[in-house]
């Protein structure tokens, strides 16, 4: 074998070995790429899984959808959250009495037997209406006794056939169109009450209320109770405010403006949390709120509501019940 032949064979061997080396490196590169791709897919799957978990555990505020027409038919009402006033009020009791000068006596002018009486207790009479006829012992003629004022007969103090003396009271009539409310205030509360204070009077019989203002503070105390008496006047247009009846009253001694105030009827509770229901479109969403001062009808909202949001103020318990029902059905 010549030198030239040996060199050529060596070159072929080196080339062959180099080719084998390239083929061995290629699979390793592909394996690395595959591992990198798998890690990327795993990371992507992990991210998607994490997002899914976040979506699954994100707490949505409890809500329910009620068509507008149905909500109106069951009495659900709303109002916009906004500025209001919280009143400092004192709860007291009172008694209804006739206004001075509103009571009149119907009296006999001359002595003689009573021939007729034309009204009974509880009747409404008008001024000038004949109420009795009496035969005068002086003239032996009958004369008529008219009603001196318009009003309601409170008492009838005579009977037909009896002899009336001169000046004898036959009837007592009262004009009950206006009444005094004597409010009995005890202890230090009396220091805060002034003429002009607003007051809400409530009948105990049916819960009907009337708004008025204190006109005067009487100079002496009530003997039996040793209370200070504040006096207010109310209109008795329906005739249901009856003298002698006890009433409840709330006297407003101060008022504090607040950024957001809502009616107490808007409040419900979820556990120990105060909540309201906010309407957007036809969806009612439960909203936790933090509350401040309150009075007999309204409460201040410190957090949880924005001015202008529409809040359920009537039949809010229906919204609560609907949400609880939907939650129970979803859990099952």
Residues β-bridged to residue 209:
202
185, part of any domain: no
The domain boundary residue, chosen from 129, 149, 174: 174
Burial class (CB in 10 A: 0-12, 13-18, 19+), 254: exposed
CA dihedral 301, 305, 309, 311 (to 10 degrees): -60
Same domain, 82 and 109: no
Same domain, 309 and 271: yes
132, part of any domain: yes
Same domain, 80 and 138: no
Residues of the chain with pLDDT under 70: 1-59, 328-332
164, part of any domain: yes
Same domain, 262 and 322: yes
139, part of any domain: yes
Cα–Cα distances (Å) from 108 to 48, 152, 171, in that order, read 103, 19, 10
- Output the pLDDT for position 255: 86
- Output the pLDDT for position 130: 97
Burial class (CB in 10 A: 0-12, 13-18, 19+), 212: middle
Angle at CA 188, nearest 5°, toward 185 and 191? 80
- Output the pLDDT for position 17: 34
Say how many C-beta atoms besides its own lie within 10 A of residue 329's C-beta: 8
The domain boundary residue, chosen from 150, 174, 198: 174
Q: For the chain, what is the largest distance between any 2 Cα atoms, rounded to a whole number of angstroms?
A: 186
The domain boundary residue, chosen from 174, 197, 227: 174
- Output the pLDDT for position 294: 87
3-state secondary structure of 118: coil
Same domain, 281 and 305: yes
> Any idea what DSSP says for residue 176?
-
96, part of any domain: no
What CATH number did the domain enclosing 121 receive?
2.40.50.100
5, part of any domain: no
The whole domain housing 142 covers 103-174
Residues β-bridged to residue 130:
146
Same domain, 131 and 76: no
Look at the chain and report how many structural domains it folds into: 2
- Output the pLDDT for position 88: 84
Q: Is the pTM of this model over 0.75?
A: no
For the residues of 278-325, what is the DSSP string, one character each?
EEETTEEEEEE-EEEEE-SSEEEEEES--TT-EEEEESHHHHHHHHHH
What CATH number did the domain enclosing 69 receive?
2.40.420.20
Cβ atoms of 287 and 304 within 8 Å: the answer is: yes
Cβ atoms of 258 and 305 within 8 Å: the answer is: no
10, part of any domain: no
Say how many C-beta atoms besides its own lie within 10 A of residue 63's C-beta: 17
Give the list of residues 6+ apart from residue 154 with CB closer than 8 angstroms, or none. 103, 121, 172, 173, 174
81, part of any domain: yes
């Amino acid at each position: 074998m010549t030198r030239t032949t040996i060199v050529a064979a060596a070159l072929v061997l080196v080339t062959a070995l180099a080719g084998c080396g390239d083929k061995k490196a290629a699979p390793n590169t592909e394996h690395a790429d595959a591992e990198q791709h798998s890690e990327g897919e795993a990371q992507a799957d992990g991210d998607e899984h994490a997002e899914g978990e976040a979506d699954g555990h994100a707490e949505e505020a409890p809500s329910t959808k009620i068509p507008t027409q149905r909500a109106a038919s069951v009495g659900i009402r709303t109002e916009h959250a906004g500025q209001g006033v919280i009143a400092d009020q004192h709860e007291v009791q009172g008694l209804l009495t006739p206004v001075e000068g509103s009571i009149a006596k119907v009296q006999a002018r001359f002595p003689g037997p009573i021939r007729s009486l034309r009204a009974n207790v509880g009747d409404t009479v008008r001024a000038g209406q004949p109420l009795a006829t009496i035969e005068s012992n002086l003239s032996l003629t009958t004369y008529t006794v008219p009603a001196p004022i318009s009003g309601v007969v409170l008492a009838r103090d005579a009977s037909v056939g009896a002899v009336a003396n001169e000046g004898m009271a036959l009837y007592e009539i009262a004009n009950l169109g206006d009444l005094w409310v004597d409010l009995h205030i005890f202890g230090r509360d009396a220091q805060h009450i002034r003429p002009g204070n607003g007051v809400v009077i409530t009948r105990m019989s049916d819960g009907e209320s009337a708004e008025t203002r204190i006109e005067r503070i009487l100079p002496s105390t009530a003997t039996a109770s040793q209370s200070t008496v504040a006096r207010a006047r109310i209109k008795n247009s329906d005739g249901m405010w009856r003298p002698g009846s006890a009433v409840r009253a709330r006297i407003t001694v101060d008022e504090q403006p607040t950024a957001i105030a809502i009616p107490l009827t808007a409040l419900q509770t979820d556990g120990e949390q105060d909540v309201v229901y906010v309407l957007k479109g036809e969806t009612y969403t439960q909203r936790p709120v933090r509350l401040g001062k309150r009075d007999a009808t309204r409460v201040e909202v410190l957090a949880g509501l924005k001015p202008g949001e529409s809040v359920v103020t009537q039949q809010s318990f229906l919204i609560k019940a609907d949400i609880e029902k939907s939650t129970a059905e979803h859990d099952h």
